[in-house]
Amino acid sequence: MDQNMDQRGMSSEPELVSIPATPKGGGLSTPETNAPTPSGLRSPRPMGGVASAKSSSWGPTPPRLLSPVSISAMGTPVKRIIGSLKGYLEEVGHLTRLNPQDAWLPITESRSGNAHYAAFHSLNAGLGFQALLLPVAFSFLGWSWGIVALTIAYFWQLYTLWILVKLHEAVPGRRYNRYVELAQAAFGEKLGVWLALFPTVYLSAGTATALILIGGETMKLFFQIVCGSLCTTNPLSTIEWYLVFVSLCIVLSQLPNLNSIAGLSLVGGVTAVTYCTLSWVLSVSQVRPRAISYQPLQLPSFTGSAFSALNALGIIAFAFRGHNLALEIQATMPSTFKHPAHVPMWRGTKVAYILIAMCLFPTAIGGFWAYGNMMPTGGMLNALYAFHNHDIPQGLLATTFLLVVFNCLSSFQIYSMPVFDSFEAGYTSRTNRPCSIWVRAGFRVFYGFISLFIGVALPFLSSLAGLLGGLTLPVTFAYPCFMWILIKKPERYSFGWYLNWGLGLLGLGFSLAFSVGGIWSMVNSGLKLKFFTSN
C-alpha cells in the first residue's frame, strides 16, 4: 500500500496484484476479494526479502502468462482459454486482495456489505439523539434563522457526503477505507493525520460520551415512569444509571466488526425514526404551555446572546454527523469493475438521508412550535416529561423513552468502531499478529469506562453538542471540499473550483466560531451549576 497505510504501521504491499483491465470509459476498477476474517483463517503476513521488494511498487504489472508473446507461442485451444479468462477478468474487474493486516481490523475484516447494510449504518449514524436537541437551537435562533440554517446545513452535508462516496475509489487500484487515509492522500501523510485524526476520534469519542449522557438519563426517566411510587425508597442516582448504560454498551461492543453490527444498526435506525416521530407528534397534539413565545432568547449582554446563537448553530451542525463513518461503511463492500462499491453505497445513503430529513425537520419545527423558547436545554425528551408527564399515557411515554435507549445503545457501537479499529491497528502493527479475543475485549472495556469518566466530568449535554458540532464541523462541511480539489483537480476558476473553495473556507470559519460559542456555553453552564449547588 501507499504511504498512508504505512502511517498505520501496515505493510506497504500494494492491494492490486493481478491484471490491469481498462474499462471502456477509462480508469481502473478497484474490487476486493473476500479476505479471511478473525473468525476463521487469517491472511498471512507478507515475508520480507525479494518478494516484498518486488511488490513495493505501486502500480500493477501484467503477468507474463498473458503477454502477447507468450499467448502467440501457444496453440489455438490454449489461446482461446487464455482469451476467455482474460475477457472474464476484464468483465468482473481486477482481482485484488486486502493488505493482510486489514483482514485483522474491525472496519475491513469483512467485505460482505451491500446497499441495505449501507442504509442501515448511514441511518443509525446520521439520526439519533441530536435530532431531539434541534428545538433547543431554534429557541436561540427563532423561526426564520432556524429553518434557514437547518436547510442549508442539510443540503451542504449531502453534497459533501456525495464527495466522500466518490473519493473512496478516486485513485485507480486503491481504496481509501478510512477517513484519515483519504485525508493523507489529499493533504499529505503528516498533515493529513494532524488535520483529520483529532476531529474524527474526537467526534467518535464525543458522540459516545453524549450517548452515555442521554442514554443514562433516559433510562432513569423510563424507570421512574414504569416503577412509579414503588421505587422511590432507594432509587439509583444519575451516575449509577450511566454505569448501567455503559455496561450494556460494553456487552454489545464485543461484536467483532462493522458488518456484524448491521442488525444493531437496523434496530438503531428504526427506533430513531420511531421516537423522533413520536416526540413531535405527541408534542404538537398536546396543549401548549401558557405564556409561550417564539422570540429568540436574549441574554442580558450582547456577547452572551451572540455566543448562544453560535452554540445553537453548532447544535445544528452536530445534527449532521456521520461523515466520519462514510468511508468506513463503504469499505465493508466488495468492489469490482462491473459493480463498484460507490453504487450500492450511494443508493443506500440516499434512502437513509431521505428518512433523516423526514425526521429532523418535523422534530425541529414541531418541537419549537409546541414549546417555543420554553424548551428545556435537555431537548424534546425533557420537554415531554416536564410539560406532559400527566397528559400523555404513561405506557406511550415509557415506550418513547425505551426506544431512545435502544437507539443510543446501537449508535454507541457504530461510533465506537473507528476507535476500536485504531486501538487494534496499533496493537497489530507492534505485535505482528491479530488481536486475541481477550485483548479485543480489554480495549473495548477500557474505552467504555473512559467515555463514562468523560461523561461524568462534562454533564452539559446541549453545550457539549454545540462544542462537538464546532470542533468536528470541518470533517463534514470543509475537508471533503478541499479533498475534491486536491485529488480530482477541477479546472481552475471553474464553477466546481469556486464552489468547493468557498464551501471549504466557510466551513473552517464556521468551525472556529461555533467552537467559541460551544466553549462559552459550557463555561456558562458550569458556572450556573456551581451557583445553584452552592445555594
Per-residue pLDDT at 268: 94
Residue whose C-alpha cell reads 468511508 in the numeric block: 327
489: left (phi over 0), alpha (psi -120 to 50) or beta: left
Q: How many CA atoms lie within 13 A of 438 on its CB side?
A: 0
Is the pLDDT assigned to residue 365 strictly greater than 50? yes
Q: Is the pLDDT of residue 248 over 80?
A: yes
Cα 314 from Cα 284, distance rounded (Å) = 25
Least confident of 67-71, 157-161, 298-302, 366-370: 67-71
Give dist(CA 400, CA 222) in Å, integer.
9
pLDDT for res 526 = 52
CA 138 to chain centre: 24
Inform me whether the pLDDT recorded for 220 exceeds 80: yes
Helix (H) or strand (E) holding 59: none
What pLDDT digit, counting tens, does each position of 262-290 carry? Answer: 999 999 999 999 999 999 999 999 888 88
Residue 41, pLDDT score: 35
Alpha carbons within 13 A on the beta-carbon side of 479:
29
Q: Which residue has the higher pLDDT, 15 or 240?
A: 240
In three-state secondary structure terms, 16 is strand
Nearest to 473 by CA among 500, 497, 504: 504
Cβ neighbours for 5, distance < 8 A, ≥ 6 positions apart: 11, 12, 99, 181
Q: What pLDDT was estimated at residue 458?
A: 66
Q: Is the pLDDT of residue 472 over 90?
A: no
Q: Answer whether 6's CB lies under 8 Å from 12's CB.
A: yes
Give the pLDDT of residue 290. Answer: 84
Q: What is the pLDDT of residue 99?
A: 65
CB 517 within 8 A of CB 316: no
Question: Which of the pair, 135 or 111, is modelled with greater confidence?
Answer: 135
The residue among 139, 190, 108, 152 whose CA lies nearest residue 476 is 152
Residues of the chain with pLDDT > 70: what percent? 76
CA angle 182, 188, 190 (to 5 degrees): 105
CA distance 410 to 263: 9
What mean pLDDT value characterizes the chain?
79
Count the neighbouring beta carbons within 10 Å of the beta carbon of residue 57: 10
Using CA of residue 14, residue 195, residue 27, residue 327, what is the dihedral sign? positive
How far, in Å, CA of 137 to CA of 207, rounded?
Answer: 18
Q: Which among 197, 473, 175, 155 has a CA at the least distance from the CA of 327?
A: 175
pLDDT at 473: 87
Residue 491 has a CB neighbour count (10 Å cut-off) of 8
Tell me, letter by letter, the H, E, C secondary structure of 304-335: HHHHHHHHHHHHHHHHCCCHHHHHHHHHCCCC
Please, which residues have CB within 8 angstroms of residue 403's CB and are 6 or more apart in sequence?
271, 274, 275, 278
Residues 6+ apart with CB under 8 A from 488: 167, 170
| Lowest model confidence (mean pLDDT) among 131-135, 154-158, 332-336 | 332-336
Which tens digit of pLDDT belongs to each residue from 147-193? 999 999 999 999 999 999 999 988 877 889 999 999 999 999 899 99
Residue 348 backbone class (left: φ over 0; alpha: ψ -120 to 50; beta: rest):
alpha
- Residues 69 and 323: their CA atoms lie apart, in Å, by 49
Q: How many CA atoms lie within 13 A of 494 on its CB side?
A: 8
Angstrom distance (rounded) from CA 253 to CA 507: 33
Report the distance separating Cα 173 and Cα 1, nearest Å: 10
3-state DSSP call for residue 96?
Answer: strand
Place of cell 430529513: 357
Mean pLDDT of 407-426: 92
**5 — pLDDT class (breaks 50, 70, 90):** very low
Question: Is residue 17 pLDDT above 70, yes or no?
Answer: no
